[in-house]
């Protein structure tokens, strides 16, 4: 090959003649590395920003959110039309409508999280392998934990945007009444914790597998097993226990089912949709199988006022054969006991999944029990010899 | 000179194969060091171990005096690695690409902005600052990837087949860029099986095959160790009979081990003498009336050395 560079004073030295290098010894460099120590979690921001830049650039993300919100608003409008003109409804219908909005948004958002969190997170790390960018990332001093957290944060940011976009629609419940602010806060708290938990399962699958397709399938399978499989097992075991008179299955089987947690939040807020609380209470009493109870859930109580002793007064169709105008007797099962356990289960699951993902990222990046030595030369003598 | 990259008895085994079989390397500061070897020789595995992407089965490897197995985090801060096959992030602009890696190294925002501009100028991508990475040509992506290895001003650059897939012009540009980096004090380790490319660029080479170093040092040193003498090529202005007569004359001279006629009409002489004897041989040929057109020591190229070394098979043969 021909060298096309003209020879001048600034030209590099000939190839076979070593140049004079800066008077920095390798040992000195080891103590004061050329790069800056980014800290164990400093790379989280770098990864997060890069992922968001990639994800939010272009029309795709905005089109998706627009379509999603249009569907939500459309559902709300259709429900409103089906229930009559909202400016003509009375206080009772208004409260019921407000609670209906709250309940619907909570369950829709739970479904959105279960459906989208694995999809958004299962490809985050495996795509680095597929796009052959993982080596570039691995050669940087970012820790594995920071990579996993940055990826998870990026995936959850977009999911959070989607879930957060539903808050104004859920807040319409306040316009109609029947739901308190704390109910909404509680509901979104459960959704956020669930989203982080399901997302961390997706990131774990993504780190454990180098291909996105198997990682996505695995993430959905694991999520389905945790959400549906465990709950289904609980129902089957409970039915068998009721038949055979044995002990009820452990309640923990239901902890990772976000629909159960959301149902409990809704139950606590509206005293309706309490099938989880009711099921658990009856399972504890061993009266009849929950599978049968689920078919036996009556209509939601509609409250029109406060009766004697501060008890809410239902307007129609009260459970347990009560009549209009009679003080509503709360059932023996009440909401609010179950969702904190569900939240706690996800809080425990999340760090386990994140740690597993960090450990699965690369064999050379695994955390070991032994402490790491400082950046000193390891072989005998100095690096200068 | 101090060794900034050192491996000792480096071994990497995979099930059913040994990629690196006791590799010993010493690379001095400021070198452009070529790892030469055929496909499967263990070059990429060695570089990936040095880049802390692979854990060796046994042996030691150090960069800037830091063990790659004991303290990989510190090693990552003193080296930049460019893999043989790499991808680019979609939907990223050129400056964002460098900004991302600079953030990874914890470089403050003010320094990042200045450094990104400097690096883009260095790799001649200043005018592509706001272009999308996936829209760059292969050569530009290669230069951008090289720029990303420099964001933290590392002492050592590990470049795995940096010129693969580049057109001749891009190769020349890359070569100039690497020389510029060497002038900035970087130690550059390049693996390649494109020998002419390394020959023009490298200050030292290691010839690797089957996971072992067969020969290491400057090309001229390896050549000296390999050969008892030199090869002289002489062009004589004569017809076939004259050429044959000239070949016979050279064959009878002192220190000449062999003299043969090449198809291109040159006479190739295996000569065991030193420079003075070479000069005397030329004087004698002219005195004898041979119409000499050219008389030169044949330049040995890396390719020739590589074939010779790998044919001998063991490092001991050249020690």
CA distance B311 to chain A (A): 25
pLDDT in tens, A138-186: 999 888 899 999 999 999 998 999 889 888 888 888 888 888 899 899 9
Question: What are phi and psi for residue A80, nearest 5 degrees?
Answer: -65, -45
Q: For residues A46 and A39, what is the distance between their CA atoms, to the nearest angstrom?
A: 12
- At residue A249 the predicted structure's pLDDT band, cuts being 50, 70 and 90, is confident
In chain A the first and final C-alpha atoms are separated, in Å, by 37
Q: Which of B65, B91, B153 sits opposite A30 (nearest CB)?
A: B65
| Chain B residues touching A26 at Cβ < 8 A | 2-4, 29, 64-65, 155
pLDDT tens digits along B179-195: 888 998 899 999 987 77
pLDDT digits (tens, 9 = 90+) for B191-235: 987 777 777 788 898 988 888 888 888 877 776 666 556 778 899
What does the longest C-alpha to C-alpha distance in chain A come to?
A: 103
From B95's Cα to the closest Cα of chain A, the distance in A is 12
Q: Is the pTM of this model over 0.80?
A: no
B161: left (phi over 0), alpha (psi -120 to 50) or beta: left
Inter-chain touch A19–B67, beta carbons under 8 Å: no
Among the partner-chain residues B53, B78, B155, the one whose CB lies closest to the CB of A364 is: B53
Name the minimum distance, in Å, from the CA of B241 to any CA of chain A.
Answer: 36
Sheet bearing B3-14, strands edge to edge: B17-28, B3-14, B58-63, B66-67
Right CATH for B228-297 from 3.30.70.100, 3.40.50.2300, 3.30.1360.170, 3.40.190.10 = 3.30.70.100
Instruction: Name the band, by pLDDT with cuts 50, 70 and 90, for residue A367.
Output: low
Put simply, the answer to whether B3 touches A383 (Cβ < 8 Å) is yes
Three-state SS at A208: helix
**Cα three-residue angle B250-B256-B260, rounded to 5 degrees:** 55
Block residue for tokens 């905005």: A62
Task: Kindly state the average pLDDT of the residues B284-301.
Answer: 85
Q: With contact defined as beta carbons under 8 Å apart, do B158 and B82 qualify?
A: yes
Which of A91-95, A129-133, A150-154, B82-86 is the least confident region?
Answer: A91-95
Chain B, 163 to 222: residues with Cβ < 8 Å from chain A are 168, 171-172, 175-176, 179-180, 182-183, 185, 187, 196-197, 200-203, 218-220
What integer is the mean pLDDT of B102-122? Answer: 90
Q: How confident is the model at residue A222 (pLDDT cuts 50, 70, 90)?
A: very high
Label residue B276 exposed, middle or buried (CB < 10 Å: 0-12, 13-18, 19+). Answer: exposed
Are residues B270 and B250 in contact, defined by beta-carbon separation less than 8 angstroms? no
Query: Where is B196: in which H helix or E strand?
Result: helix B195-201
- Alpha-carbon torsion A195, A224, A341, A106, what sign? positive
Residue (of B191, B121, B192) closest to B150 by Cα position: B121
* The pLDDT of residue A23: 36
Q: CATH number for the B3-224 domain, one of 3.30.70.1230, 3.30.2310.20, 3.40.430.10, 3.40.50.300?
A: 3.40.50.300
The DSSP string of A110-127 is HHHHHHHHHHHHTTTTHH
Lowest mean pLDDT among A248-252, A270-274, B108-112: A270-274
Look at A140 and B76 and tell me if their CB atoms are within 8 Å: yes
pLDDT digits 0-9 by tens, B226-275: 655 677 889 999 888 899 999 999 999 988 888 888 888 889 888 878 78
Residue with tokens 């600079």: B102
Residue spans in chain B of domains classed CATH 3.30.70.100: 228-297
- How many helices (H) does chain A have, and how many strands (E)? 15, 2
List strand residue ranges (DSSP E) for chain B, in order: 3-14, 17-28, 32-36, 58-63, 66-67, 79-82, 156-160, 187-192, 204-209, 212-217, 230-236, 256-261, 266-271, 292-297
Task: Tell me the domain boundaries of chain A.
Answer: 39-363
Are the beta carbons of A30 and B8 separated by less than 8 Å? no
Query: How far apart are the CA of A139 and the nearest CA of chain B, in angstroms?
Result: 6
| Of B316, B247, B232, the residue nearest B288 (C-alpha) | B247
Instruction: Measure the CA–CA gap between A74 and A10, rounded to whole angstroms.
Output: 70
Rounded Cα distance between A76 and A74, Å, is 5
- Residue ranges matching CATH 3.40.50.300 in chain B: 3-224
Q: Which among A129, A107, A113 is positioned nearest to A219, based on CA atoms?
A: A113
pLDDT over threshold 90, residue A272: no
Chain A: give the shortest CA distance to residue B302, in Å.
Answer: 13
CB-nearest to B200 from A1, A135, A379 is: A1
Residue A313 confidence (pLDDT) above 80: no
- Using alpha carbons, select from A117, A280, A96 the residue that is nearest to residue A202: A117
- DSSP 3-state assignment of B240? helix
**8 A C-beta contact, residue B106 and residue A39:** yes
Which residue of chain A has the CA closest to B219? Answer: A16
The average confidence (pLDDT) of chain A is 74
Q: For A41-98, how does the pLDDT look when each residue is reduced to its tens digit (9 = 90+)?
A: 678 989 998 888 888 887 888 898 889 889 888 888 887 777 666 556 666 777 888 8
Which chain A residue has its CA at the smallest distance from B199's CA?
Answer: A15
Q: For residues B253 and B285, give the distance between their C-alpha atoms in angstroms, rounded to a whole number.
A: 10
């Amino acid at each position: 090959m021909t060298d096309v560079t003209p020879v001048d004073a600034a030209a590099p030295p000939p190839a076979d003649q070593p140049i004079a290098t800066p008077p920095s010894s390798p040992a000195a460099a080891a103590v004061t590395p050329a790069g800056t120590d980014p800290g164990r979690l400093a790379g989280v921001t770098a990864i997060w920003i890069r992922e968001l830049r990639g994800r939010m650039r272009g029309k795709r993300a905005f089109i998706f959110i627009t379509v999603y919100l249009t569907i939500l608003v459309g559902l709300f409008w259709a429900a409103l039309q089906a229930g009559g003109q909202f400016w003509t409804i009375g206080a009772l219908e208004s409260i019921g409508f407000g609670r209906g909005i709250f309940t619907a948004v909570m369950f829709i958002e739970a479904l959105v999280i279960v459906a989208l969190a694995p999809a958004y997170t299962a490809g985050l790390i495996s795509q680095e392998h597929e796009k052959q960018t993982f080596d570039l990332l691995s050669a940087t001093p970012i820790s594995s934990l920071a990579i996993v957290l940055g990826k998870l944060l990026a995936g959850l940011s977009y999911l959070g945007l989607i879930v957060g976009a539903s808050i104004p629609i859920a807040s319409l419940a306040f316009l109609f009444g029947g739901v308190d602010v704390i109910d909404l806060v509680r509901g979104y708290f459960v959704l956020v914790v669930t989203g982080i938990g399901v997302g961390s399962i997706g990131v774990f699958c993504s780190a454990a597998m180098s291909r996105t397709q198997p990682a996505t399938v695995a993430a959905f399978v694991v999520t389905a097993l945790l959400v549906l499989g465990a709950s289904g097992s609980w129902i089957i075991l409970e039915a068998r226990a009721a038949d055979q008179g044995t002990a009820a299955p452990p309640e923990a089987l239901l902890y990772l089912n976000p629909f159960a947690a959301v149902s409990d939040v809704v139950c606590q807020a509206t005293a309706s949709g309490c099938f989880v609380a009711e099921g658990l209470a009856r399972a504890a009493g061993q009266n009849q199988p929950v599978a049968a109870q689920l078919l036996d859930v009556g209509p939601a109580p509609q409250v029109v006022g406060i009766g004697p002793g501060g008890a809410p007064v239902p307007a129609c169709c009260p459970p347990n054969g009560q009549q209009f105008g009679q003080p509503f007797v709360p059932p023996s099962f009440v909401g609010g006991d179950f969702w904190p356990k569900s939240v706690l289960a996800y809080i425990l699951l999340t760090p386990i999944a994140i740690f597993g993902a960090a450990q699965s990222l690369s064999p050379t990046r695994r955390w070991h029990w032994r402490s790491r030595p400082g950046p000193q030369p390891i072989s005998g003598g100095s690096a200068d010899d | 000179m101090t060794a900034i990259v050192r491996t000792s008895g480096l071994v990497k085994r995979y099930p059913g194969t040994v990629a690196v079989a006791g590799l010993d390397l010493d690379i001095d500061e400021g070198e452009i060091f070529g790892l030469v070897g055929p496909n499967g020789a263990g070059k990429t595995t060695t570089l990936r171990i040095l880049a802390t992407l692979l854990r060796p089965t046994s042996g030691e490897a150090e960069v800037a005096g830091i063990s790659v197995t004991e303290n990989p985090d510190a090693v990552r801060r003193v080296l930049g690695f460019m893999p043989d096959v790499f991808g680019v992030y979609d939907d990223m602009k050129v400056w964002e690409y460098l900004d991302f890696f600079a953030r990874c190294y914890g470089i403050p925002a003010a320094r990042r902005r200045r450094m990104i501009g400097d690096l883009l100028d260095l790799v001649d991508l200043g005018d592509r600052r706001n272009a999308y990475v996936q829209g760059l040509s292969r050569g530009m992506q290669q230069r951008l990837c090289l720029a990303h290895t420099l964001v933290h001003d590392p002492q050592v650059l590990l470049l795995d087949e940096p010129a693969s897939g580049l057109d001749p012009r891009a190769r020349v540009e890359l070569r100039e860029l690497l020389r510029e980096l060497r002038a900035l004090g970087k130690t550059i380790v390049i693996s390649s099986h494109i020998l002419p490319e390394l020959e023009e660029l490298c200050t030292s080479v290691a010839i690797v095959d089957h996971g072992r170093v067969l020969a290491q040092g400057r090309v001229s040193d390896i050549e000296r160790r390999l050969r008892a003498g030199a090869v002289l090529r002489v062009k004589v202005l004569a017809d076939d009979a004259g050429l044959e007569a000239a070949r016979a004359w050279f064959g009878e001279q002192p220190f000449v081990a062999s003299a043969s006629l090449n198809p291109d009409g040159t006479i190739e002489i295996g000569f065991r003498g030193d420079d003075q004897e070479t000069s005397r041989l030329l004087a004698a040929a002219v005195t004898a009336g041979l119409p000499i057109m050219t008389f030169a020591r044949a330049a040995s190229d890396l390719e020739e050395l590589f074939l010779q070394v790998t044919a001998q098979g063991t490092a001991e043969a050249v020690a």
